[in-house]
Structure 1
Amino acid sequence: MFASVLAFVPWLLSYVLPFLVVLTVIVFVHEMGHYLVARWNGIAIQTFSIGFGPELVGWNDKRGTRWKISAIPLGGYVRFVGDMNAASVPDPDAVENLDPELAPHLFANKNVWQRISVVVAGPLANVILTFVILYALLLGYGRYTIPPVITGVTAGSVAEQAGLQAGDTVIAVDGYVVRGFEDFQRFVATSPARQVSLAIERNGAPQTLTLTPEAVEVQDRFGNNQRIGRIGVSRDVADNDVTLYRPGPVEALGMTVEEIRFIVQRTGAFLGDFFVGRGDVEQLGGPVKVAKVSGEVATLGVVALINLTALLSLNIGIFNLLPVPMLDGGHLMYYLIEAARRKPLSMRIQEMGFRLGFALVLALTVFTLFNDTLFAYLRTLN
């Protein structure tokens, strides 16, 4: 029994702890976005919670807001005074019994544009966190790069069929600037079975080619299966080919914005694949997979874990903007409809939407948990 407990401790420190650190930072920033904009709009805030379920520890500030850490560390919420629940559904009974002086400070009584600003603030805070991390890493560490010159083309490959030749210099992929061969590889790898446009330079003359990378299954250094795009080119690397590039503050600004645009576009394309039958369910990840990835990345060092935090923060921000009731995007959808109609949707419709949204989010959570554990078990059999 004691030996089992001792064996559990390394697993806890290796996987769970990095996951909780990453998730807590992302959730705190997201909810702080909602909190700050709500404060700026004069909205009374009842609770700021990291996690769900029973309270583990908490305190009240001088404005009456309850700050707490809850037992289930898989999210968080900001609950406003007069809300029925953490989803910001107004509670008519509570509103009637509140001090009339609080009425102007209720979220439900703010104009629609103020409510929209509060809803958007959470995902926007995630984008800002991603930007700050990527920008700081780029300025602080720079990046190692290899000239984007193709030195080999596999016979019969997608690249050969598209007309690529040894000696071609890749300038851009789908409009994204290629500063090094590693950029070219990444842009292609994230487009399995999706057509891409290449801007190249051959003998000093610019050309444009289109091709569709072949979707292949590969394993990363941790044994995880990944579906990537491959076209069949290579780059011979000499010692003097690898250089450390340090952009200036202004150039790093543009590079960071372009990187965020790339992640958003590729995330949208990844989600879109599931609507056209190209998606691979094994690539979907829930808490278990995120915990596993966090633990694996943590073995690569603090910088790698910080970089993962930036990526997950942006993806969580994007996910929260999906037009699903219970998520920020669902609230945003309601308020945009209200702005167009000049009156809110009925409480009955809103409650039905939130119940449907709750069911969808719950179903997705259960599915990803099952998906994570199923494929993890299947990998142990191989």
Structure 2
Amino acid sequence: MLGAISQILTYVVPFLLVLTLVVTVHELGHFLTARAFGVKMDRFAIGFGRALFKRTDKHGVEWRVGWLPLGGYVKFSGDLDATGVPDRAGLEAMRKQLVAAHGPGAERDYLYFKPLWQRALVVAGGPFANFVLAIFIFTLLFSLVGVELRPARVMQVQAGSPAAAAGFQQGDLITHVNGKLISDGGEVTRVVALSSGDPVRFTVERGDRAVELTATPERRVETDRIAGRVSVGRIGLALGSTRDEIRHVRYGPVAAVGQGVRETGAILNTTLTYIGRIFTGRESGDQFSGPLGIAKASGALTNAAVAANPEPWAIVRNLLLTLTSFAAILSVGIGFLNLMPIPVLDGGHLLFYAYEAVARRPMAARVQEAGYRVGLALLAGLMLFATWNDLQKLNLFKFLGGLVS
């Protein structure tokens, strides 16, 4: 019993807290943008199912919290929302109904009758809010906590590795990767991890000389304490820093914002690079994770934060820093996912709006309906694929096989 409670507190609670924060901010992005344009709304909901809490504000919007905190939505008045675009005949029928019910000009308060650019901004408001949340969190971390910069000093070169073949030597200091100045060894690791099979250019300081080296990472399967079993590129280097080289930097407000933007951009770039390599056949899709993988990662981060220092104040501090950082990363991921041009996602709705802007009319209802069916199928397939990856990383199939063998 105590073990089950411990597992819930370690894995489920942190996951739900982080997910609720990210989803709430996403929906607030839609909500606040719509309110700025005078769009009437009926409900702002976080979670699904029976309401645990609900209250109606002075604008007639019901604020609602459901018992199942796995998503959220904004319900626009007239049962209109940002998930579709009625065709011309549908819009005219809606207009007549609204005028008949509320009088001439009533349609101007409803989403579908707003100018196209306003509707597009309402849809884009959710992902944009996710990116803003990530930048905000990173800005706070860079300004209030700071960051420890560890230069990429080569401590060991594995014999027979790509690094050895490239000519790396112990003591080399990596200063540039693919022409980009780097200040921390983690930047080197990120580039190499997503470059298996592709040559990577390095500039190293060796004594008083700058030496150019090129190494091609090999794909290796490793076990990460947070992500589980992963397939990444490696060149056979052990990186570290001497005590004198390690710097703790705390940025001022303006510089921290810049760092927050750069960190958010780096996460987006890593995501785009990974997806691009999948489509070109240079990377497998086994790193995609769904809710199970995210919950596992949040639990692993929670355990690591607790184990770092047993003092109560240190546990609280480490948990706060760890989970807020995780929320920032997850927020970028959810923002990016929602911008994918798949009907039922925000990106799919923007795709329909783009067609409307070019064709000067909404897409035909039957085409939209077909698009939504395809989009739902794609989304369901993606979720199944991600869940399959998560179950494999959890070794569930190996466990079940052991039961029947």
TM normalised by structure 2 equals 0.84
With 122-131 and 365-374 compared, the bigger mean Cα shift is at: 365-374
Alignment match, 1:142: 146
Alignment match, 1:267: 271
8 Å CA contact retained: 1:176, 1:258: no
Alignment match, 2:296: 292
Structure 1: state its 5+ residue gaps: none
Report whether the alignment pairs 1:26 with 2:22: yes
Alignment match, 2:9: 13
Report whether the alignment pairs 1:257 with 2:275: no
Aligned residues: 378
Equivalent position to 2:361, from 331, 338, 343 = 343
Alignment match, 2:109: 105
Aligned mates of 1:222, 1:293 — CA distance in 2: 5
Report deviation, 1:322. 0.3
Alignment match, 1:357: 375
Output the amino acid matched with 1:359: A
Aligned mates of 2:3, 2:206 — CA distance in 1: 58
Aligned mates of 1:206, 1:240 — CA distance in 2: 21
Report deviation, 1:35. 0.6
Matches within 5 A, 1:167-316: 167-174=171-178, 176-206=180-210, 208-221=212-225, 224-235=228-239, 237-299=241-303, 300=305, 301-316=319-334
Q: What SS does the corresponding residue of 2:45 show, helix, strand or coil?
A: strand
Report deviation, 1:86. 6.9
Structure 2: state its 5+ residue gaps: 306-318
Report deviation, 1:206. 4.4
Aligned mates of 2:237, 2:154 — CA distance in 1: 7
Alignment match, 1:133: 137
Report deviation, 1:337. 1.5
With 365-374 and 311-320 compared, the bigger mean Cα shift is at: 365-374
CA deviation profile, 1:339-367 (whole Å, cap 9, x unmatched): 12222212222222122212222232233
With 88-97 and 14-23 compared, the bigger mean Cα shift is at: 88-97
Equivalent position to 1:46, from 22, 42, 47 = 42
8 Å CA contact retained: 1:31, 1:76: yes
Aligned mates of 2:127, 2:5 — CA distance in 1: 34
Output the amino acid matched with 2:56: N
Report deviation, 1:213. 1.4
Aligned mates of 2:30, 2:180 — CA distance in 1: 32
CA deviation profile, 1:216-272 (whole Å, cap 9, x unmatched): 111123681122221122345444443322233343333332222221111012222
Aligned mates of 1:124, 1:222 — CA distance in 2: 27
The 1:151/1:289 distance shift into structure 2, 3 A limit, reads closer
Report deviation, 1:190. 4.0
Q: What SS does the corresponding residue of 1:282 show, helix, strand or coil?
A: coil
Output the amino acid matched with 2:97: N
8 Å CA contact retained: 1:82, 1:95: no
Aligned mates of 2:121, 2:227 — CA distance in 1: 43
The 1:176/1:54 distance shift into structure 2, 3 A limit, reads farther
What value does the CA root-mean-square deviation take over the aligned residues?
2.6
Report whether the alignment pairs 1:121 with 2:125: yes
Percent of counterpart pairs with the same letter?
38
